[in-house]
């Protein structure tokens, strides 16, 4: 049996359908898409997951206040994230997808080797790049819209001066890092710095990111009798295995991780006692100032579990929002111009972009750098250091 729809109802339905259909493009125009290419699985996931979550939380809090106002209009911030597993080919594919398919004009890339592989794509598309990455030449005049959003080896290696003053018995240093752009540059910078301080660099080793058996490398390193082993730029999963296996081989010295690394993940693999005394940059569990306690509470409420790595990984979101507000434009070039001069709050204090004297361009984030020592299994804040350049 046929069911007839009254003419008035049919017209009302048609009108409603037209409104929904026609409102799509204008609603989409009210959204700012922010792309993330990061490792959400694999050994580097302890970086990638808080990278994505920190950005989402910062943006959610802005959206809850009505959005980001640009030119008198409010925009909702939306994260579009893909997992590159810290595989270069996946990194290239995800960034290409963000730019070509999703129409993203602003992208945050984690991982030096991945960021380097995407330099050309980012520059050609004219998108704003907000990296969490270590790689030589990434911050340079040739990449006018790439901004580095956490301290890199030229900044963090300055902690070795503190080690020299407070642990003078350490004289021989060995390094182990990933066998890619990230690892090569990190070891190059750190080696030059510690040698100027008078340390003997007795070994430099590189490993493939898929490696799980580090014994052959460690045996070569330990034969040189290092007092400390630097794991600069190595992901938490790999560091846990390195420490565990080095301790099993009899190494009694210190481990130094002057990069953002989750020491709780490391301890979960290596054993709590084996990480005692490890020095870490950018990861602090205690004591947390009030501002960080508030972030911890909000993060835990949203995601169910606290991750201190998220503290530094808020920087791309904070920097982006501050630059857009100053530029009052969504043009990546104008946002980039504002980024070079804007001062903004991050979770450690005041931040801005500088470093022109070292990098040739003022696109390296500058703020007081936190360093911790693992005590009784907890990353305990030792001090904050100013970067060596401004």
111 and 43 fall within a common domain? yes
Is residue 65 in some structural domain? Answer: yes
Cα–Cα distances in angstroms (integers) from residue 172 to residues 228, 361, 371, in the given order: 7, 34, 21
State the CB neighbour count (10 A cutoff) for residue 252. 7
Average pLDDT over residues 32-41: 98
271 and 160 fall within a common domain? yes
Which residues share a beta bridge with 381? 372
Quick one: what percent of the chain has pLDDT higher than 70? 92
Look at residue 324 in the predicted model and tell me its pLDDT: 98
163 and 121 fall within a common domain? no
DSSP assignment of 96-157: HIIIIIS--SEEEEB-HHHHHHTHHHHHHHT-EEEEB---TTSSSTT-TTEEE-S--HHHHT
* 168: CATH: 3.40.50.2300
Residue 1 has pLDDT above 80, yes or no: no
Domain termination site, one of 262, 281, 300: 281
Rama region for 85: left / alpha / beta (φ>0; ψ in -120 to 50; rest): left
What is the Cα–Cα distance from 141 to 361, expressed in whole angstroms?
Answer: 6
Quick one: what percent of the chain has pLDDT higher than 90? 90
129 and 61 fall within a common domain? yes
Query: Range with the lowest mean pLDDT among 218-227, 260-269, 335-344?
Result: 260-269
303 and 248 fall within a common domain? no
Domain termination site, one of 281, 312, 344: 281
Structure tokens at 376: 């009784």
Cα–Cα distances in angstroms (integers) from residue 97 to residues 36, 83, 132, 218, in the given order: 11, 12, 19, 39
State residue 310 phi and psi, 5-degree precision.
Answer: -60, -20
Structure tokens at 132: 């969490």
Average pLDDT over residues 16-35: 55
Structure tokens at 77: 């911030």
Domain termination site, one of 253, 281, 309: 281
Look at residue 389 in the predicted model and tell me its pLDDT: 82
Axis-axis angle for helices 332-339, 315-327 (nearest 10): 110
Look at residue 24 in the predicted model and tell me its pLDDT: 35
Is residue 124 in some structural domain? Answer: yes
340 and 292 fall within a common domain? yes
Look at residue 390 in the predicted model and tell me its pLDDT: 64
266 and 294 fall within a common domain? no
Measuring CA to CA, which residue among 387, 317, 316, 312 is closest to residue 354? 387
Taking only the tens place, the pLDDT of each residue in 56-65 is 999 999 999 9
300 and 366 fall within a common domain? yes
Question: Is-contact 105 332, C-beta < 8 A?
Answer: yes
Q: Give me Rg for the CA atoms of the chain.
A: 23
Look at residue 12 in the predicted model and tell me its pLDDT: 38
**Domain region containing 209:** 154-281
What is the Cα–Cα distance from 266 to 241, expressed in whole angstroms?
Answer: 8
What is the Cα–Cα distance from 10 to 338, expressed in whole angstroms?
Answer: 52
Cα–Cα distances in angstroms (integers) from residue 225 to residues 170, 204, 207, 251, in the given order: 11, 13, 20, 9
Residue 285 has pLDDT above 70, yes or no: yes
277 and 292 fall within a common domain? no
Taking only the tens place, the pLDDT of each residue in 64-88 is 999 999 999 999 999 999 999 999 9
Mean pLDDT of the residues in the chain: 92
Is residue 68 in some structural domain? Answer: yes
Is residue 11 in some structural domain? Answer: no
Measuring CA to CA, which residue among 37, 116, 35, 41 is closest to residue 85? 41
Is residue 93 in some structural domain? Answer: yes
Residue 2 has pLDDT above 80, yes or no: no
Q: How far is CA 20 from the centre of its chain?
A: 39
Is residue 21 in some structural domain? Answer: no
Question: Is-contact 184 240, C-beta < 8 A?
Answer: no
Question: Is-contact 230 175, C-beta < 8 A?
Answer: yes
Question: Is-contact 204 233, C-beta < 8 A?
Answer: no
Query: Range with the lowest mean pLDDT among 18-27, 73-82, 166-175, 215-224?
Result: 18-27
188 and 259 fall within a common domain? yes
Residue 96 has pLDDT above 70, yes or no: yes
Q: E strand or H helix at 175, and its extent? A: strand 172-178
Number of domains present in the structure of the chain:
2
Which residues share a beta bridge with 90? none
Is residue 346 in some structural domain? Answer: yes
367 and 250 fall within a common domain? no
Average pLDDT over residues 194-199: 98
Is residue 25 in some structural domain? Answer: no
245 and 209 fall within a common domain? yes
Please enumerate in sequence order all residues whose Cβ is within 8 A of that of 97, keeping only pairs 6 or more positions apart, or say none: 82
Average pLDDT over residues 85-94: 97
């Amino acid at each position: 049996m046929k069911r007839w729809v009254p003419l008035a109802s049919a017209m009302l339905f048609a009108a409603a359908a037209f409104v929904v259909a026609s409102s799509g493009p204008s609603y989409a125009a009210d959204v700012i898409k922010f792309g993330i290419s990061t490792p959400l699985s694999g050994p580097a996931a302890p970086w990638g997951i808080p990278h994505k979550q920190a950005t989402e939380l910062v943006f959610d809090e802005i959206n809850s206040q009505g959005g980001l106002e640009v030119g008198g209009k409010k925009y909702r911030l939306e994260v579009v994230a893909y997992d590159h597993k810290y595989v270069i080919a996946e990194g290239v594919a995800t960034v290409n997808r963000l730019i070509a398919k999703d129409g993203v004009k602003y992208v945050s890339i984690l991982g030096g080797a991945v960021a380097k592989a995407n330099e050309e794509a980012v520059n050609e598309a004219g998108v704003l790049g907000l990296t969490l990455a270590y790689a030589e030449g990434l911050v340079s005049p040739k990449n006018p819209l790439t901004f580095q959003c956490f301290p890199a080896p030229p900044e963090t290696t300055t902690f070795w001066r503190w080690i020299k003053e407070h642990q003078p018995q350490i004289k021989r240093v060995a390094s182990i890092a990933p066998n890619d752009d990230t690892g090569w540059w990190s070891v190059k910078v750190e080696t030059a710095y510690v040698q100027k301080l008078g340390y003997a660099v007795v070994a430099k080793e590189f490993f493939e990111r898929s490696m799980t058996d580090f014994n052959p490398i460690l045996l070569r390193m330990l034969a040189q009798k290092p007092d400390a082993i630097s794991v600069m730029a190595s992901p938490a999963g790999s560091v846990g295995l390195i420490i565990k296996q080095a301790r099993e081989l009899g190494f009694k010295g210190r481990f130094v991780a002057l990069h953002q690394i989750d020491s709780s993940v490391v301890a979960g693999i290596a054993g709590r006692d084996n990480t005692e005394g490890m020095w870490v940059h950018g990861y602090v569990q205690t004591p947390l100032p009030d501002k960080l306690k508030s972030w911890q509470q909000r993060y835990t409420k949203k995601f169910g579990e606290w991750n201190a790595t998220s503290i530094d990984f808020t920087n791309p979101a904070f920097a982006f929002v501050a630059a857009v507000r100053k530029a009052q434009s969504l043009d990546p070039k104008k946002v980039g111009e504002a980024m070079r001069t804007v001062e903004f709050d991050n979770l450690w204090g005041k931040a801005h972009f500088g470093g022109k004297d070292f990098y040739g361009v003022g696109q390296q984030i500058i703020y007081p750098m936190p360093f911790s020592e693992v005590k009784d299994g907890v990353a305990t804040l030792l001090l904050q250091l100013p970067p060596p350049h401004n």
